[in-house]
Structure 1
Amino acid sequence: MAKQQVKSGDRPPGMVDVARVAGVSAQTVSRVLSGHPNVQARTREKVLAAVEQLGYRRNNAARMLSSGRSRTIGVVTLRTTFYSRAALTSGIENAAQTAGYTVSTATTTSLDTAAIEAALSRLADQDVEGVVLAVPLIHTSARIEQFTRSTPTISVDGPRTDTTEVVAVDQALAARKATEHLLNLGHETVWHIAGPEHWLEAASRRDGWRATLEEAGRPVPPPLEGDWSPASGYRNGLLLGRVPEASAVFVASDEMAFGVIRALTELGRRVPEDVSLVSVDDIELAAYCTPPLTTVAQPFARTGELAVAHLLRHIADPAGAIAPESVEPRLVVRASTAPCPGT
């Protein structure tokens, strides 16, 4: 039989590819390749035929699976310098180590579903016992769905599937806390500099901000969109700073807020005397900004620890009920907010 190549650039075929061709789960492929006795002969034949067809080569991790346990969990995350990703991963690694597990991280430079599928395939090749999906996608795919049906998976802030358990910070509540704080200071409305539209957490914050204003009967200004970077905050700050009636702004991240404050300062608009500003994250630098940032703190490390706890429970009882957990953010009031001028 001629070998069939996988159409994904130059990457070699993975265990998920074998599972797709054989019409079985990645976990079944793992059982066949490890010589597990509880596999029907017909299923074993299909898997081995798919291995031959694709030219799949097992890696060292698969060969070491004779015990049936790899004591490894996988993490799929975006390759970025953002503080939030690093803090979340640190929480995952600490909790896994405490539980006697190692962590294998598959990073991706793209949020395209094909890139996520490739990352999951790499983890499947290592026979991880479960996976933490820490990628901020709104949409999923059939192959991601297939993987999460066969492998215990926890989603932190990424794609939700029918079989994925979710542990996440309530981003809509974070936006509500920020917006209500500014309204309570007497501001007529609150402008918003959002994160990228295709990030789930950015969309949730934008929705929470808009809902809070609408419930209060306040006008809803058109949101501005950034990309989480200080540079995008600076660009949007130059726009917002030229709107005389803008006295309050909710910025979707601390790092963007740094850029906004610089832009406002260059335009001669003082924070908080002229414009009050609230952001999200509470990274370590937030308290040392000028002025110190009022922000909604996200417990990144705690979220990572909870994700591991849920994942280990799911590994121990794959048939157990899926129980999402929402982590409540906390408003930290500092010097970047003040009563509206004239109130």
Structure 2
Amino acid sequence: MSERVWVVTGVSSGLGLAIAAEVARRGDKVIGTVRSLSKFPDSLREAGVVPLTIDFASSDAHIVEVARTALAVYGWVDVLINNAGNTTSNRPVEELRIEDIRSNLQVNFYGVVAFSQPFITHFRERRTGHIINVSSVGSIVNGPAWLPYTASKAALDVFTETLTHELKLFNVRVVSVMPGYFSTNIFQSSTDWREISGENGNNSSTMSKIYTDRVTQGYDTINELPRSHIASGQIGDPEKLATRVYELVTGTGLLKNLVPENGGKWEWNRVPLGPDCGVALGNRLKELKDNVDAFEEVWRSTDVEPERLKSFSRG
């Protein structure tokens, strides 16, 4: 097959950088977005990755314009990786600023939808293409003190599910990849980020004076979460994630038999990445089933009686 064209958003560091580098190394063409050209890595420039600037907090019209610019670079695109995102604040809901929630939804969801729309048209018309949304284990397994981030990622998963249904007949695949804990600088984008200093970290006004339980209330979670993964010896490798994403698109390696063209199911549109993610999702599924089973008598009790159905001719 001839070389593909990929658009990868948020390539300045972390998962986006790893994905762009892996794809370029494999010989495909890559367009990588950053908020500022000063943040574009020299390593990607040397690998031939084309830089493109975009701020997902900007207007819808500007975001769409940049997407169209990306489509014009080579005249076509085969793969869109929606990776760019941030986390604004990690506080209990009572202590959150509403603007922090709006900000996360803008960058991680609204901006992604706006950027994707020109690609959706392009892929539909070509009847081929991949949209890979970088979600999170937190989109389903929600912990305390992460509402802005996890709400935006949950919305991103709904976007994936919706597009899967809408684009299947056009042979366009849409998937959420769901990383657990990986070694990136995502936490540094939080307004509550504090450098870890010693065993207990710094005292800071961003740590709640009321919600102080580290386990159930997420006290100091932005430092506790990395500490816990270091202690358990479980940290994801961005380069390995990048390889799995490449295999997901190309139907090779560990993903060979899990993609539709090789017998996989279109409905397999969530890809857990990291043992912590896989285990957490499995546990969450058990919790949901237990919840549904416990309330079965209740949810079965709320339909109208069969003899009254004739009164609902229009539903």
Shorter-chain TM-score range: 0.3 to 0.5
More strand per residue: 1 or 2? 1
TM-score (ref. length: structure 2): 0.42
TM-score (ref. length: structure 1): 0.39
More helix per residue: 1 or 2? 2
